[in-house]
Amino acid sequence: MAPLDLTFEKKLSSDGYRLIAGIDEVGRGALAGPIVAAAVILPLELPFHQSLKDSKSVGEKKRESVVRWLIKEIEIKYGLGFSSVEEIEKCNVHNASLLAMRRAVCCLDVEPDLLLIDGIWNLPGIGITSLPIAQGDAKVASIAAASLVAKVSRDLWMTKLGSLYRTYGWDKNKGYGTPSHFEAIKTNGLSPFHRKSFFRKREFFGQYEDYL
């Protein structure tokens, strides 16, 4: 995947939008842990960086390096929003993702004029114009940056949580459904940070019903 520049944001700036925030979330498909969203405003004069891409196409160490560069050297404006396991269970993954995104926007120290959202959904309940972009993290630099910031932040959170629940290997799988994670669940049951509703929906529900 080719690195992204700010062509899209510069076009919108020429149309009168002054502060443009890219929004993305990570953790929707995990079996455990929160959903984490990031809102990122990049300077239009941002220097080129070869690893400013969708977080899924960048290795773990490189992701961390790019995020350090964005935060420490470029000093981007960014906000983070979390939706807890309890909130995911209560209002479903989609609504919890929107909740995390709204929180990320609210954590910015400036109010954007426009929100560029990864996906096909607008962001309701925020009072700011939003533009959904399908596969936006692979097309738009500010969304890609939000993807990177959210991914690195959630990975760090899951690694720290994994130090308290070592048996599940969250320092490596970050709460996703790897074979070793499933084996750990079979042996030890579900932790308070597992999304129990995810297991009820799966065909192998019977393997876990004693823990629900």
pLDDT tens for residues 75-106?
Answer: 999 999 999 999 999 999 999 999 999 999 99
Report the chain's terminal Cα–Cα distance, integer Å. 41
Position 119 scores a pLDDT of 95
Position 49 scores a pLDDT of 87
Buried b (16+ CB within 10 A) or exposed e, 71-103: eeebebbbbbbbbebebbeeeebeebbbbbbbb
Mean of the per-residue pLDDT values of the chain:
92
Has residue 169 got a pLDDT over 70?
Answer: yes
**Cα–Cα distance list, 133 to 15, 37, 80, 144, 201 (Å):** 18, 16, 20, 12, 29
Provide the 10 A C-beta neighbour count for residue 26. 28
Q: Six-digit token pair at 136?
A: 């936006």
Please state the rounded mean pLDDT for residues 69-80.
96
Nearest to 191 by CA among 160, 168, 163: 168
Distance CA(45)–CA(150), nearest Å, equals: 22
Q: Six-digit token pair at 7?
A: 């062509």
Position 161 scores a pLDDT of 96
DSSP 8-state code for residue 32 = B
* Gyration radius from the chain CA atoms: 18
Position 212 scores a pLDDT of 43
Position 201 scores a pLDDT of 66
Q: In the chain, pLDDT over 90 holds for what percent of residues? A: 85
Q: Are 23 and 37 in contact (CB under 8 A)?
A: yes
**Cα–Cα distance list, 50 to 92, 117, 200 (Å):** 36, 22, 42
Q: pTM of the entire structure?
A: 0.93
Please state the rounded mean pLDDT for residues 114-136.
95
Distance CA(132)–CA(45), nearest Å, equals: 24
Please state the rounded mean pLDDT for residues 189-199.
91
Has residue 23 got a pLDDT over 60?
Answer: yes
Position 202 scores a pLDDT of 57
